[in-house]
A and B are shown apart, each in its own frame.
Chain A
Amino acid sequence: MLARQRYLLDYTLAALLRRKGRHLSLLLVYGALVFALASVLLFGSALRREARALLQDAPELTVQRLVAGRHDPIPAAYLAEVRKIRGVAAAEPRLWGYYYDPASGANYTVLVPATDPPPAGSARVGRGVARSRGLAVGDVVAFRDARAEPLPLRVTHLLDPASELLTADLFLVAEGDFRRWLGVPEGLYTDLALRVRNGREVRTVADKVTRALPDTRPVLREEVARTYDAVFAWREGVGLLLLCAALFAFAIFAWDRASGLSAEERREIGVLKAVGWDTGDVLRMKLWEGAVVSLTAFLLGYVLAYAHVFWAGAPLLAPLLKGWATLYPEFRLVPHVEPAGVLALFALTVVPYTAVTLVPTWRAAVADPDAVMRGAQE
């Protein structure tokens, strides 16, 4: 049985080599499709994983003040109220905001670090910012503050490239510079970051915060994680939607290529049957053919997608899936493959293609070899 399969596979490989042009074009289109689909899936899942890993260090609970349903600076006095709530291990005020830089056309995130803030008049900046403004350590960059006065900042440090997914657009500055730059008066903060003693009681603590400070909204870390997931999944969905068109085009192409047997192929099936191959042998041979083409294309496409996403930094997908306005982060994703994703892609590409190749072969192979050969001659 095994020897018979080996002979059939041997014949299949010879048949593939005989129709090089046809199979090579099919392999290229098929491989490109798997490459595109796998790139989006690998990139999306790796981004979500990366963002979740980075969020592990985020505070369990963030308290924002709401005025007219919108985020408003929170008074320093709220800090003392929050610290009184049982279960809160630590509470720190945070200062952060956004600044639109007309020179680069990009939005920056400006933040005062909780520990070790930079000295007044200096800044640590993210790699995306540095790229967009052409900044290096030691350079001085000036912005207009809230009163339209110039605010010069000397770059003392560029942030770690490993954290670029979250820090590409970041400016770390001193508290005084922040308040002057973005116009936040003394005694007000952007929000409060809370550490909760017992991780399982985060929701209870959040309820207590809402009761003690009715004009605030506590944001749970898991909610942020869910939002990240949703954002990336949405972007991935957009990508996949675009690829649906490609998938459809491929389906037509594959159907055309695989489903219609040429007169030459029909004749060949007739010859094989006439010299003693049975229907099963012909079907197995075609099954091998479909499997060899689709598995090769699948492996080729998947390996290239892996290299594209994890080695090359997904240059073809970054604008769609990273999408940080003008500042695209440059970073290496940690290689991560989800077996379920591989299986789903396999099921969507290899299985249908192999099946499509079998139908016309079966139709040709169940006919009398005499009829197949007469038909092919017509």
Chain B
Amino acid sequence: MIRLEDVRKAFHQGSPNEVWAVRGVTLTIEPGSVTVFRGPSGSGKTSLVSLVGCLARPTSGRVRLGDRLVSALPEKFLAELRRRTFGFVFQQFHLVRGLSVLENVMLPAYPEAPPYAELRARAEGLLGRLGISDRAGARSEWLSGGEAQRAAIARALVNDPQVLIADEPTANLDTERSRDFLEIVAGLKAEGRTVILTSHDPLVCEAPLVDRVVPLRDGRVEGAA
């Protein structure tokens, strides 16, 4: 279970261009569920998933993972959480240019330093599962949007995380590719993983597999006091 307690996040705090991206969000995300943060651009969706996924620390408030208060953890432990508990699929995918798809997928496991053959087999297995085995040797910048997203999903799953976070996963995909993505999410849900998405795409927000849609506006949960 992930719990956010009155979480706030400011950027450029104390300077004239101070922006409060998240303004007091309290919510609970159940394990094994699919949750969508829905809202227009600038509503704080990306900031919120960054806080959930330990990519950033809240300016105030608390983030708990199970019984553990993660918002107060030192950076070293946050990195370990990002590596072992969360898998990220960024809106722009952020695959490392110049590396092959396979190398990109293996990247999050480097600090764990598993035996190379085992890691390679794991990465190839994921690429096979996501249907892009034939692109394993291709450089990441040569991929189409759909292929890049699958590669990013494979990278997010290589350390077998409990939670997958995807920021605007269908923003760069056509309808068919978006449906493919939702099928992948359904598979992950069936495996018991928690999936957190940000989107304002009705195809995602209205998908039957989604357990909960959290509407956001101006950094707050809409309808919340």
Contact = CB atoms under 8 A, between A and B. Distances in A.
Given A18-B99, A271-B96, A277 B88 contact: no
Contacts of B156: 275
B99 A278 contact: no
Interface in B72-108: 75-76, 79-80, 82-84, 88, 90, 92, 94, 96-99, 103, 107-108
B99 A281 contact: no
Contacts of B14: none
A276 interface: yes
Contact of B94 (A1, A281, A373): A373
A371 interface: yes
A278 B113 contact: no
Output the residue of B56, B94, B99, B110 with the most chain A CB within 10 A: B110
B97 A275 contact: no
Nearest to B158: A275
A370 interface: yes
B55 A368 contact: yes
Nearest to A6: B113
A14 B113 contact: no
A275 B108 contact: yes
B111 interface: yes
A274 B99 contact: no
B159 interface: yes
Interface residues of A, number: 36
Contacts of B159: 276
Nearest to A281: B111
B50 interface: yes
B75 A278 contact: yes
Interface string A210-240: 0000000000000000000000000000000
Contacts of A8: 110
A274 B56 CA distance: 10
Interface in B28-51: 47, 50
A273 interface: yes
Contacts of B62: none
Tell me if A's interface is mostly helix, strand, loop or mixed. Answer: helix
A234 B94 CA distance: 57
B155 interface: yes
B57 interface: yes
Given A8-B110, A369-B55, A279 B97 contact: no
A370 B56 contact: yes
Interface string A347-378: 00000000000000000001011110110010
Contact of B82 (A10, A274, A377): A274
A200 interface: no
A370 B97 contact: no
24 contacts: A1-B113, A4-B112, A7-B111, A7-B113, A10-B110, A14-B99, A14-B103, A18-B97, A18-B98, A271-B90, A271-B96, A272-B107, A274-B82, A275-B107, A276-B83, A276-B159, A277-B108, A279-B79, A281-B79, A366-B75, A368-B56, A370-B47, A370-B56, A373-B90
Given A274-B82, A275-B155, A369-B56, 16 more contacts: A3-B113, A4-B112, A6-B113, A268-B96, A271-B94, A271-B96, A273-B82, A274-B94, A275-B82, A275-B156, A277-B79, A277-B83, A277-B111, A368-B55, A369-B82, A373-B94
